[in-house]
Amino acid sequence: MKFVISKHEREIIERFKLSKYPSIYKTDRTDNILFLELVDFDVCSYLLKERMINNDQYEHILNEYQTYLMNVNTDHFDEYALNHYKNIVQIMDIFKKYYDN
């Protein structure tokens, strides 16, 4: 299956790629920063290159996303961190749109 991401989706991904990780992730005593790196280096790359992945990769990324969602507490986020979080959710929605098995 070949797919082509839209211009709007590409802009969302590129905005994330240009952003800095919010400092809250460096002090929140979770592994959430590792998920940010997974999105930054893997998920965004797969989407921008319109590259297919196998079921194991897909399941691993979704499992990590679920863990991230369980660990993240947006109550303590400043505006920048909250917008960054919303951008991650958008990227994962795009990811699921194209890779949903």
Residue 1 has what pLDDT? 59
Of residues 58, 53, 44, the one with CA closest to residue 13 = 44
Q: Span 77-91, mean pLDDT? A: 97
- The residue behind tokens 């802009």 is 11
Tell me the domain boundaries of the chain. 7-99
For 1-28, how does the pLDDT look when each residue is reduced to its tens digit (9 = 90+)?
578 999 999 999 999 999 999 999 888 7
User: What are the tokens at 88?
Assistant: 């991650």
| Rounded (10°) CA dihedral 5, 9, 11, 13 | -90
pLDDT class for 78, splitting at 50, 70, 90? very high
Instruction: Count the Cβ atoms, other than its own, within 10 Å of residue 46.
Output: 18
Q: How far apart are the first and last CA of the chain?
A: 11
